[in-house]
Amino acid sequence: MKNIILLVFTVLILGCNSKKKKEEPISNSHEKNDLSDSPLFNTEIVEPTKLFDNIYFVGYEGVGAFIVNTTQGIILIDAMWTNDDAKNVIIPGIEKLGLNPKDIKYLLVTHEHADHYGGANYIEKTYKSKILMSEVAWNSIHDPNALVLVDPFGNKSSDLPLPQSYQKVGDKEIISLGETNIKVLLTPGHTKGAISLVINTTDNNIDHDVSIWGGTGLPNTLEENKKYLKSLDYFESFAIKNGVDAQISNHPFVNNLLDDMKLLRLRKSTEKNPLILTTEEFKRNIDTALRKSVIEKINSYQ
Protein backbone atom coordinates (compact mmCIF):
# COMPACT_ATOMS: atom_id res chain seq x y z
CA MET A 1 0.00 0.00 0.00
CA LYS A 2 1.22 3.37 -0.98
CA ASN A 3 2.51 5.64 1.70
CA ILE A 4 0.61 8.78 2.28
CA ILE A 5 3.05 11.62 2.35
CA LEU A 6 1.64 14.85 3.54
CA LEU A 7 2.82 18.17 2.27
CA VAL A 8 4.96 20.29 4.46
CA PHE A 9 2.19 22.69 5.14
CA THR A 10 4.31 24.85 7.37
CA VAL A 11 6.03 26.30 4.37
CA LEU A 12 2.73 27.39 2.89
CA ILE A 13 2.42 29.72 5.82
CA LEU A 14 5.35 31.79 4.61
CA GLY A 15 4.44 35.38 4.20
CA CYS A 16 1.10 35.11 5.93
CA ASN A 17 0.22 37.00 9.03
CA SER A 18 -1.55 34.26 10.53
CA LYS A 19 -2.40 31.84 13.19
CA LYS A 20 -0.52 28.92 14.59
CA LYS A 21 1.96 26.98 12.54
CA LYS A 22 2.61 23.28 12.35
CA GLU A 23 6.32 23.12 12.93
CA GLU A 24 6.98 19.64 11.62
CA PRO A 25 5.95 17.83 8.49
CA ILE A 26 4.05 14.62 9.00
CA SER A 27 5.57 12.11 6.68
CA ASN A 28 5.12 8.49 5.75
CA SER A 29 2.05 8.43 7.87
CA HIS A 30 -1.18 6.60 7.34
CA GLU A 31 -2.82 8.59 10.06
CA LYS A 32 -5.33 11.27 9.35
CA ASN A 33 -3.44 14.50 9.35
CA ASP A 34 -4.10 16.95 12.12
CA LEU A 35 -3.71 20.21 10.31
CA SER A 36 -6.99 21.73 11.34
CA ASP A 37 -5.20 24.79 12.68
CA SER A 38 -3.18 25.35 9.49
CA PRO A 39 -4.40 28.36 7.48
CA LEU A 40 -4.29 26.18 4.37
CA PHE A 41 -7.05 24.02 5.84
CA ASN A 42 -9.33 26.92 6.67
CA THR A 43 -12.56 26.18 4.80
CA GLU A 44 -14.39 29.34 5.81
CA ILE A 45 -15.97 30.62 2.59
CA VAL A 46 -14.88 34.09 1.51
CA GLU A 47 -17.54 36.39 0.13
CA PRO A 48 -16.89 36.35 -3.66
CA THR A 49 -14.82 39.47 -4.26
CA LYS A 50 -14.04 41.65 -7.22
CA LEU A 51 -10.31 42.42 -7.25
CA PHE A 52 -10.04 44.30 -10.56
CA ASP A 53 -12.53 45.23 -13.30
CA ASN A 54 -12.51 41.64 -14.59
CA ILE A 55 -10.69 39.52 -11.97
CA TYR A 56 -12.52 37.98 -9.02
CA PHE A 57 -11.75 35.65 -6.11
CA VAL A 58 -14.01 32.80 -5.01
CA GLY A 59 -13.14 30.15 -2.46
CA TYR A 60 -12.08 29.44 1.08
CA GLU A 61 -9.82 31.45 3.35
CA GLY A 62 -7.27 28.66 2.85
CA VAL A 63 -7.34 28.30 -0.91
CA GLY A 64 -9.46 29.60 -3.75
CA ALA A 65 -9.77 30.27 -7.45
CA PHE A 66 -9.60 33.35 -9.62
CA ILE A 67 -12.10 34.20 -12.29
CA VAL A 68 -10.85 36.23 -15.22
CA ASN A 69 -13.88 37.45 -17.15
CA THR A 70 -13.34 38.47 -20.77
CA THR A 71 -15.59 39.46 -23.66
CA GLN A 72 -15.10 35.94 -25.06
CA GLY A 73 -15.69 33.96 -21.88
CA ILE A 74 -14.13 33.11 -18.54
CA ILE A 75 -10.68 31.81 -17.70
CA LEU A 76 -10.85 30.09 -14.33
CA ILE A 77 -7.52 29.84 -12.51
CA ASP A 78 -7.41 26.78 -10.24
CA ALA A 79 -10.21 24.51 -9.08
CA MET A 80 -9.74 24.06 -5.30
CA TRP A 81 -9.66 20.69 -3.50
CA THR A 82 -12.48 18.58 -4.93
CA ASN A 83 -15.36 18.34 -7.36
CA ASP A 84 -17.62 19.29 -4.44
CA ASP A 85 -15.64 22.50 -3.99
CA ALA A 86 -16.06 23.28 -7.67
CA LYS A 87 -19.78 22.54 -7.55
CA ASN A 88 -20.62 24.10 -4.19
CA VAL A 89 -18.14 26.97 -3.85
CA ILE A 90 -16.71 28.03 -7.22
CA ILE A 91 -19.86 27.81 -9.32
CA PRO A 92 -22.22 29.50 -6.81
CA GLY A 93 -19.50 32.14 -6.33
CA ILE A 94 -19.40 32.83 -10.06
CA GLU A 95 -23.19 33.10 -10.13
CA LYS A 96 -23.22 35.41 -7.13
CA LEU A 97 -20.86 37.71 -8.99
CA GLY A 98 -23.44 37.93 -11.76
CA LEU A 99 -21.38 35.82 -14.18
CA ASN A 100 -22.34 32.64 -16.01
CA PRO A 101 -20.34 29.46 -15.30
CA LYS A 102 -21.29 28.18 -18.76
CA ASP A 103 -18.83 30.80 -20.04
CA ILE A 104 -15.82 29.00 -18.50
CA LYS A 105 -13.71 28.38 -21.60
CA TYR A 106 -10.47 27.48 -19.85
CA LEU A 107 -9.41 26.17 -16.49
CA LEU A 108 -5.77 27.05 -15.95
CA VAL A 109 -4.20 24.95 -13.19
CA THR A 110 -1.18 26.53 -11.49
CA HIS A 111 0.33 23.28 -10.19
CA GLU A 112 -0.11 19.65 -9.38
CA HIS A 113 -1.25 19.85 -5.75
CA ALA A 114 -4.81 18.71 -5.07
CA ASP A 115 -5.89 22.05 -3.60
CA HIS A 116 -5.48 23.54 -7.09
CA TYR A 117 -6.72 20.84 -9.48
CA GLY A 118 -9.17 18.81 -7.34
CA GLY A 119 -12.29 20.26 -8.99
CA ALA A 120 -10.92 20.15 -12.55
CA ASN A 121 -12.82 16.98 -13.43
CA TYR A 122 -16.14 18.63 -12.55
CA ILE A 123 -15.38 21.79 -14.53
CA GLU A 124 -14.30 19.79 -17.60
CA LYS A 125 -17.27 17.45 -17.44
CA THR A 126 -19.92 20.07 -16.72
CA TYR A 127 -18.84 22.99 -18.89
CA LYS A 128 -16.63 21.27 -21.48
CA SER A 129 -13.90 23.72 -20.47
CA LYS A 130 -10.36 23.12 -21.71
CA ILE A 131 -7.92 22.25 -18.97
CA LEU A 132 -4.59 24.06 -19.30
CA MET A 133 -1.51 23.14 -17.29
CA SER A 134 2.16 22.36 -17.70
CA GLU A 135 3.07 18.98 -19.12
CA VAL A 136 4.98 18.12 -15.94
CA ALA A 137 1.94 18.94 -13.79
CA TRP A 138 -0.37 16.88 -16.01
CA ASN A 139 1.95 13.87 -15.92
CA SER A 140 2.31 14.21 -12.19
CA ILE A 141 -1.43 14.13 -11.42
CA HIS A 142 -1.66 10.96 -13.50
CA ASP A 143 1.37 9.35 -11.88
CA PRO A 144 0.30 6.47 -9.61
CA ASN A 145 3.40 7.09 -7.47
CA ALA A 146 2.74 10.79 -7.02
CA LEU A 147 2.54 12.45 -3.63
CA VAL A 148 -0.80 11.75 -1.97
CA LEU A 149 -2.39 14.60 -0.05
CA VAL A 150 -5.24 14.40 2.40
CA ASP A 151 -7.61 17.33 2.10
CA PRO A 152 -9.43 19.12 4.95
CA PHE A 153 -12.39 16.75 4.48
CA GLY A 154 -10.29 13.59 4.80
CA ASN A 155 -10.22 12.70 1.08
CA LYS A 156 -7.01 11.37 -0.45
CA SER A 157 -5.82 13.03 -3.65
CA SER A 158 -5.20 9.56 -5.11
CA ASP A 159 -8.98 9.01 -5.07
CA LEU A 160 -9.84 12.20 -6.96
CA PRO A 161 -11.48 11.83 -10.36
CA LEU A 162 -9.08 13.44 -12.82
CA PRO A 163 -9.69 15.56 -15.91
CA GLN A 164 -9.60 13.50 -19.11
CA SER A 165 -7.69 15.75 -21.45
CA TYR A 166 -5.64 18.90 -21.42
CA GLN A 167 -3.76 21.43 -23.44
CA LYS A 168 -0.15 21.91 -22.54
CA VAL A 169 1.12 25.40 -21.64
CA GLY A 170 4.80 26.15 -22.03
CA ASP A 171 7.25 28.81 -20.95
CA LYS A 172 6.41 32.35 -22.16
CA GLU A 173 3.24 31.06 -23.77
CA ILE A 174 0.38 33.53 -23.91
CA ILE A 175 -3.19 32.42 -23.29
CA SER A 176 -5.47 34.88 -25.04
CA LEU A 177 -9.20 35.24 -24.66
CA GLY A 178 -11.05 38.42 -25.61
CA GLU A 179 -8.87 41.34 -24.57
CA THR A 180 -7.03 39.33 -21.92
CA ASN A 181 -3.55 37.89 -22.30
CA ILE A 182 -2.18 35.62 -19.62
CA LYS A 183 1.57 35.20 -19.87
CA VAL A 184 2.76 31.88 -18.51
CA LEU A 185 6.17 31.15 -17.03
CA LEU A 186 7.40 27.71 -16.08
CA THR A 187 8.68 28.16 -12.53
CA PRO A 188 9.60 24.79 -11.02
CA GLY A 189 10.35 24.90 -7.31
CA HIS A 190 7.24 24.64 -5.16
CA THR A 191 6.44 21.71 -7.44
CA LYS A 192 8.17 20.52 -10.58
CA GLY A 193 5.22 21.53 -12.78
CA ALA A 194 4.42 24.92 -11.23
CA ILE A 195 3.64 27.89 -13.45
CA SER A 196 3.50 31.59 -12.67
CA LEU A 197 1.31 34.11 -14.43
CA VAL A 198 1.11 37.73 -15.53
CA ILE A 199 -2.37 38.95 -16.48
CA ASN A 200 -3.32 42.25 -18.06
CA THR A 201 -6.36 43.83 -16.47
CA THR A 202 -7.86 47.20 -15.57
CA ASP A 203 -9.03 48.90 -12.40
CA ASN A 204 -11.57 51.66 -12.99
CA ASN A 205 -10.51 51.37 -16.63
CA ILE A 206 -6.85 52.04 -15.88
CA ASP A 207 -4.43 49.37 -17.13
CA HIS A 208 -2.63 47.14 -14.66
CA ASP A 209 -0.65 43.91 -14.80
CA VAL A 210 -1.25 41.35 -12.08
CA SER A 211 1.11 38.54 -11.18
CA ILE A 212 0.48 35.18 -9.56
CA TRP A 213 3.50 33.30 -8.20
CA GLY A 214 3.13 29.57 -8.74
CA GLY A 215 3.19 28.10 -5.27
CA THR A 216 4.40 29.63 -2.05
CA GLY A 217 5.69 26.73 0.03
CA LEU A 218 9.30 25.62 -0.06
CA PRO A 219 10.27 22.15 -1.26
CA ASN A 220 12.27 19.67 0.79
CA THR A 221 15.60 19.19 -0.92
CA LEU A 222 18.54 21.51 -1.52
CA GLU A 223 18.34 20.98 -5.26
CA GLU A 224 14.62 21.83 -5.38
CA ASN A 225 15.14 24.92 -3.24
CA LYS A 226 17.85 26.12 -5.58
CA LYS A 227 15.44 25.66 -8.48
CA TYR A 228 12.81 27.60 -6.52
CA LEU A 229 15.21 30.53 -6.07
CA LYS A 230 16.19 30.47 -9.73
CA SER A 231 12.52 30.46 -10.76
CA LEU A 232 11.78 33.28 -8.33
CA ASP A 233 14.55 35.43 -9.87
CA TYR A 234 13.23 34.62 -13.35
CA PHE A 235 9.64 35.45 -12.35
CA GLU A 236 10.60 38.71 -10.64
CA SER A 237 12.63 40.05 -13.53
CA PHE A 238 9.98 39.01 -16.08
CA ALA A 239 7.25 40.61 -13.96
CA ILE A 240 9.13 43.89 -13.59
CA LYS A 241 9.96 43.97 -17.31
CA ASN A 242 6.28 43.44 -18.02
CA GLY A 243 5.16 46.30 -15.78
CA VAL A 244 3.59 44.18 -13.06
CA ASP A 245 2.02 46.36 -10.38
CA ALA A 246 -0.05 43.90 -8.38
CA GLN A 247 0.39 40.45 -6.92
CA ILE A 248 -2.31 38.02 -5.81
CA SER A 249 -2.14 34.52 -4.35
CA ASN A 250 -4.60 31.66 -4.63
CA HIS A 251 -3.89 31.15 -0.91
CA PRO A 252 -5.51 34.39 0.24
CA PHE A 253 -3.87 34.36 3.67
CA VAL A 254 -0.61 35.16 1.85
CA ASN A 255 0.38 38.82 1.35
CA ASN A 256 -2.70 40.11 3.21
CA LEU A 257 -5.11 39.28 0.39
CA LEU A 258 -7.86 38.41 2.92
CA ASP A 259 -7.61 41.87 4.49
CA ASP A 260 -7.33 43.55 1.12
CA MET A 261 -10.48 41.76 -0.02
CA LYS A 262 -12.35 43.10 3.00
CA LEU A 263 -11.35 46.60 1.92
CA LEU A 264 -12.24 45.88 -1.70
CA ARG A 265 -15.74 44.74 -0.80
CA LEU A 266 -16.36 48.08 0.92
CA ARG A 267 -14.38 50.19 -1.51
CA LYS A 268 -15.89 53.25 -3.16
CA SER A 269 -14.92 53.65 -6.80
CA THR A 270 -12.85 56.73 -6.00
CA GLU A 271 -10.72 54.91 -3.43
CA LYS A 272 -7.36 53.32 -4.18
CA ASN A 273 -7.21 49.60 -4.93
CA PRO A 274 -5.10 48.16 -2.07
CA LEU A 275 -3.67 45.48 -4.39
CA ILE A 276 -1.83 47.97 -6.56
CA LEU A 277 1.87 48.24 -5.79
CA THR A 278 4.85 50.24 -6.89
CA THR A 279 7.75 48.25 -8.37
CA GLU A 280 9.62 48.75 -5.09
CA GLU A 281 6.70 47.36 -3.08
CA PHE A 282 6.41 44.40 -5.43
CA LYS A 283 10.13 43.65 -5.04
CA ARG A 284 9.87 44.00 -1.27
CA ASN A 285 6.96 41.54 -1.22
CA ILE A 286 8.99 39.02 -3.19
CA ASP A 287 11.98 39.53 -0.89
CA THR A 288 10.19 39.36 2.44
CA ALA A 289 7.57 36.73 1.68
CA LEU A 290 9.62 34.43 -0.54
CA ARG A 291 13.28 35.11 -1.29
CA LYS A 292 14.42 35.54 2.31
CA SER A 293 12.93 32.19 3.32
CA VAL A 294 14.27 30.20 0.40
CA ILE A 295 17.77 31.61 0.90
CA GLU A 296 17.58 30.72 4.60
CA LYS A 297 16.50 27.21 3.71
CA ILE A 298 19.30 26.80 1.14
CA ASN A 299 21.81 28.01 3.74
CA SER A 300 20.44 25.54 6.28
CA TYR A 301 21.65 22.66 4.07
CA GLN A 302 25.23 23.95 4.08
Residue ranges binding Zn ion (CB under 5 A):
113, 215
Q: How far is the CB of 236 from Zn ion (least distance, A)?
A: 19
Q: How far is the CB of 261 from Zn ion (least distance, A)?
A: 21
Q: Which of 75/195 has CB closer to Zn ion?
A: 195
Q: Find the shortest distance in angstroms from Cβ 111 to Zn ion.
A: 6
Q: Cβ closer to Zn ion: 208 or 251?
A: 251
User: Which residue has the CB atom at the shortest distance from Zn ion?
Assistant: 113
Q: How far is the CB of 53 from Zn ion (least distance, A)?
A: 28
Residue 110 Cβ, how far from Zn ion at the closest point, in Å?
8
Closest CB to Zn ion among 101 and 219? Answer: 219
Closest distance of CB 37 from Zn ion, Å: 19
Query: CB-wise, 93 or 215, nearer to Zn ion?
Result: 215
Based on CB atoms, which residue is closest to Zn ion, 113 or 208?
113
Name the nearest CA neighbour of 68 among 258, 209, 259: 209
Q: Which is nearer to Zn ion, 101 or 215 (CB)?
A: 215
